[in-house]
Structure 1
């Protein structure tokens, strides 16, 4: 708890003093020093600073002075609003400061946190449309952002591989990831202007681009996945009769040899015989 308060701008003594004050309202500096485990001089300095920052207030003018903590919902709510205003202003100022970016630019990202942060930022910045292909495991960190985009008026189209609950936008269900080959991929297209392709396996990495031809390619891949899911849902029996279980004949014929062999193994019993036939 102390470290989280420090992240918001308090020092260690202020954070400890604020937590002690929450549990001991109208305490004196001497009493807070004992409960917070601080020297009295540090406690008095922390109390004065907390009052200046709006985390505490003095309840008496007599000596010894007594203090109460400002409720967290009030003081942190105020801090949240102030931070949001500062960030919004800075975004606008930096946008005005930034030179136009070339449309052929491609940005490379490394590491799961960097890739996930960029994906969430792109979804958050969407103005009209978000289109996505992802694994069901990814929904744990994507759902809130997708819901916020939908609530802001964006059209949201999501291809989900595997079982996962998603009550946002148009959702197209696909087979489980353990019946796919090619690794853990994520495709994202935003507003027909920006695209991102990520691999989220052992060493996550991604590329983001505004290059029109590449954006159109990613858009087409996402749409084609949606088409396939919708068609397969309606005509599964006929398609598997023609192309084998999970369309293994067609898919294996077009994959690199090593991935074709793996596909046959993960699709299951009977697939190899069907393919050979």
Structure 2
């Protein structure tokens, strides 16, 4: 009978010595550590380590004093605690595995998002989940709707770096004002948004078409890498223009217009992504 109970306790994550000590205390308590060792057969060199582990886990109680004495948590309470802990572990495992499975699936997919509000909602999700860095290209109109989430991210210790089109003032982010400002809206025929969270998730798309706005969200490395690097290279350009604008415009025209014309396929030298 006793051997069966010892095996049962082992199945509840007791070591052999812990099981013997607990069962001894169930039979007779309170006992000193010396008495537990003597009655259980646990070596005296190990008994206090065993009793400390049981105490920390909440399986036994200890009365302070010159000679501490130990008493067990009642068997019903022990089983109740173990069942509660097991259920918590199962719930945690279920949630964690589901999130892992979803995350792994997301890494291989590219999701289409329709509608300006829906796009901004997904950008907010990206901001909330970021832990290290947010890179963002944005116009003032969209920034105002995302400012609260971005501020909270910065308070969590996330580095927020923004390339803005139009005047944006921020006391929590590194802000780079694009050298063309609002003029670029006219050339491109609309506003876009690009966000990279922790170099592992991106949302990129057009947000100036109301319900017809569209964007892509993905964790696919084949898009995350080039889109993130696109933003980083724009940051390089902002730094270079800040320090050497006069020299660059002498070579390539105001706002580098000659470069933009060189790589345009349209006679009016404007972009025609938005029809």
**TM bracket, shorter-chain basis:** 0.5 to 0.7
Equivalent position of 2:113 in the other structure: 109
* TM-score where L is the length of structure 2: 0.58
Q: Is 1:179 aligned to 2:184, yes or no?
A: yes
Equivalent position of 1:197 in the other structure: 204
Partner deviation per Cα, 1:153-174 (whole Å, 9 max, x = no partner) = 1111111111121222211111
Partner deviation per Cα, 1:209-260 (whole Å, 9 max, x = no partner) = 1111210111111111111111111111111111001100011111221561
Equivalent position of 2:240 in the other structure: 231
User: CA 1:254/1:110 → structure 2, altered by over 3 Å: closer, same or farther?
Assistant: same
| Bigger relative CO (Cα 8 Å, ≥ 6 apart) | 2
Q: Secondary structure at the match of 2:202?
A: strand
- Aligned to 2:225, which of 216, 221, 232? 216
Q: Secondary structure at the match of 1:153?
A: coil
Equivalent position of 2:166 in the other structure: 162
User: CA 1:150/1:258 → structure 2, altered by over 3 Å: closer, same or farther?
Assistant: farther
Distance in 1 (alpha carbons) for counterparts of 2:93 and 2:215: 27
1:188 Cα deviation from its structure 2 partner: 0.6
Q: Secondary structure at the match of 1:134?
A: strand
Distance in 2 (alpha carbons) for counterparts of 1:201 and 1:137: 10
Contact 1:107/1:209 (CA < 8 Å) preserved in 2? yes
Contact 1:137/1:164 (CA < 8 Å) preserved in 2? no
1:93 Cα deviation from its structure 2 partner: 6.5
Q: Is 1:257 aligned to 2:266, yes or no?
A: yes
1:262 Cα deviation from its structure 2 partner: 6.9
Q: Secondary structure at the match of 2:269?
A: helix
1:179 Cα deviation from its structure 2 partner: 3.3
User: CA 1:156/1:248 → structure 2, altered by over 3 Å: closer, same or farther?
Assistant: same
Partner deviation per Cα, 1:164-192 (whole Å, 9 max, x = no partner) = 21222211111223335333111110011
Contact 2:122/2:203 (CA < 8 Å) preserved in 1? no
Distance in 1 (alpha carbons) for counterparts of 2:131 and 2:196: 12
Distance in 1 (alpha carbons) for counterparts of 2:130 and 2:267: 38
Distance in 2 (alpha carbons) for counterparts of 1:95 and 1:141: 31
Distance in 2 (alpha carbons) for counterparts of 1:259 and 1:129: 38
Distance in 2 (alpha carbons) for counterparts of 1:258 and 1:116: 34
User: CA 1:93/1:184 → structure 2, altered by over 3 Å: closer, same or farther?
Assistant: farther
Pairing 1:1-277 to 2, within 5 Å after superposition: 96-98=97-99, 99-100=101-102, 101-102=104-105, 103-174=107-178, 175-180=180-185, 181-182=187-188, 183-202=190-209, 203-258=212-267, 260-261=269-270
Instruction: Please list every run of 5 or more consecutive structure 1 residues that lacks an aligned counterpart in the other structure.
Output: 1-89, 264-277
- Which structure has the larger Rg? 2
**Cα RMSD after superposing both structures:** 2.3
Distance in 2 (alpha carbons) for counterparts of 1:256 and 1:185: 20
Instruction: Please list every run of 5 or more consecutive structure 2 residues that lacks an aligned counterpart in the other structure.
Output: 1-90
Q: Secondary structure at the match of 1:166?
A: coil
